[in-house]
């Protein structure tokens, strides 16, 4: 299998969340050609399995991307394209490593290209969580070929909506747009108070204003905000919901999605295998905690097995127009993943 050609082909198929069908079909066909028992599962994930053993090793990365197609092109050792790092690069590295490791007696090596990770539903990961009980799991996200990501903050996504009867702009009545701004300011002040004794970004409560809209038809006017709050470890999500409603002062709050934060354990055979493999490839292993979320947040608590997030690519390029991957690092990550798989399934 030529892993660079595999990635190049996958990048050429535009697959924003909820439009992954063509990319899934391509990946299933490529895995079948490489000897996997590959299929589209009931959630729409591209799944490939090597082996028939009772023990399971799951490698899951997402096949969907954010919107915005980037022309696929190669400049020296850099391959440009939407999803090159987030997260088709890690996904193709998983497939390449599993194919190199081959059949392992007593094991199933399961590679999953999950759908809707970039969407609030995380449909692919939730479904996978009901289908497998792995002994080990690797989640594919960019962090660098020599780095392990061990935790992510959680998130709470909600809409604020306020509608009122239209009044004259000179009236002493605060219009919905002003009230929405006031709510946002209250929320920011609250989070600043919560964060006052926390120096690390990972430990802070962080509200992000994603969208703001207004409407008026001559009789009614309204204001809408969509807000995502990033949650540190041990956040009481219900308590935060109650606080948001109180701060909204009568406006409608619609909670759309919630994900608890998660931090994995370092003291296990999976982490030790990665540390050894990274060192044998000339690297100095590093650990990261990320301030976003990933499918690790969902699957870590469900599977309760040794789990890490790993993948080639610079995460600072996530969701940007400059998304590209260093192919030398891509290939190094495949070698590291192969060594990890072989060591843990021998």
Residue 315 is encoded by which pair of tokens?
A: 């995460």
What DSSP string runs through 130-183? HH---SEEEEE--SEEEEEEEEE-EEEEEEEEEEEE---TTSSS--HHHHHHHH
Given 3, 8, 20, 64, which residue is catalytic? 64
| Active-site annotation holds for 117 | yes
Q: Which residues contact 18 (CB under 8 A, 6 or more apart)?
A: 64, 115, 116, 119
Question: Phi/psi zone of residue 199: left (φ > 0), alpha (ψ -120 to 50 degrees), beta?
Answer: alpha
Coil, strand or helix at 307: strand
- Phi, psi for 165 (deg, rounded to 5): -65, 140
CA distance 333 to 114: 20
Given 86, 117, 118, 323, which residue is catalytic? 117
Instruction: Show contacts of 171-177: CB within 8 Å, 24+ apart.
Output: 175/221, 175/223, 176/214, 176/221, 176/222, 176/223, 177/214, 177/221, 177/223
- First-residue to last-residue Cα distance in the chain: 22
Active site residues: 64, 117
């Amino acid at each position: 299998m030529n892993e660079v050609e595999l990635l190049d082909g996958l990048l050429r198929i535009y697959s924003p969340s909820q439009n992954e069908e063509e990319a899934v079909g391509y990946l299933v066909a490529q895995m079948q050609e490489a000897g996997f028992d590959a299929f589209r599962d009931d959630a729409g994930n591209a799944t490939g399995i090597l082996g028939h053993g009772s023990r399971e090793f799951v490698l899951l990365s997402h096949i969907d991307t954010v919107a915005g197609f980037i022309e696929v092109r190669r400049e020296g050792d850099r391959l440009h394209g939407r999803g090159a790092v987030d997260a088709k690069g890690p996904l193709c590295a998983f497939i390449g490593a599993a194919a190199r490791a081959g059949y392992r007696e007593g094991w199933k090596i399961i590679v999953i290209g999950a759908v809707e990770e970039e969407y609030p539903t995380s449909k692919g990961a939730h479904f996978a969580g009901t289908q497998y009980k792995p002994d080990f799991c690797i989640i594919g996200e960019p962090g660098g070929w020599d780095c392990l990501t061990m935790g992510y903050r959680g998130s709470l996504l909600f809409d604020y909506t306020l509608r009122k009867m239209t009044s004259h702009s000179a009236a002493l009545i605060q219009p919905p747009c002003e009230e929405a701004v006031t709510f946002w300011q209250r929320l920011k002040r609250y989070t600043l108070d919560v964060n006052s004794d926390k120096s690390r970004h990972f430990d802070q409560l962080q509200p992000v204003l994603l969208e703001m809209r207004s409407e008026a038809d001559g009789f009614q006017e309204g204001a809408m905000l969509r807000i995502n709050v990033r949650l540190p470890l041990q956040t009481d999500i219900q308590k935060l919901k109650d606080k948001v409603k109180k701060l909204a002062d009568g406006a409608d709050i619609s909670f759309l999605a919630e994900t608890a934060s998660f931090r994995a354990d370092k003291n296990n055979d999976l982490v030790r295998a990665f540390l050894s493999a990274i060192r044998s490839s000339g690297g100095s292993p590093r650990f990261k905690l990320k301030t976003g979320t990933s499918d690790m947040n969902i699957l870590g608590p469900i599977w309760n097995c040794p789990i890490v997030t790993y993948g080639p690519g610079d995460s600072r390029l996530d969701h940007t127009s400059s998304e590209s991957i260093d192919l030398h690092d891509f290939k190094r990550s495949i070698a590291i993943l192969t060594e990890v798989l072989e060591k843990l399934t021998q």
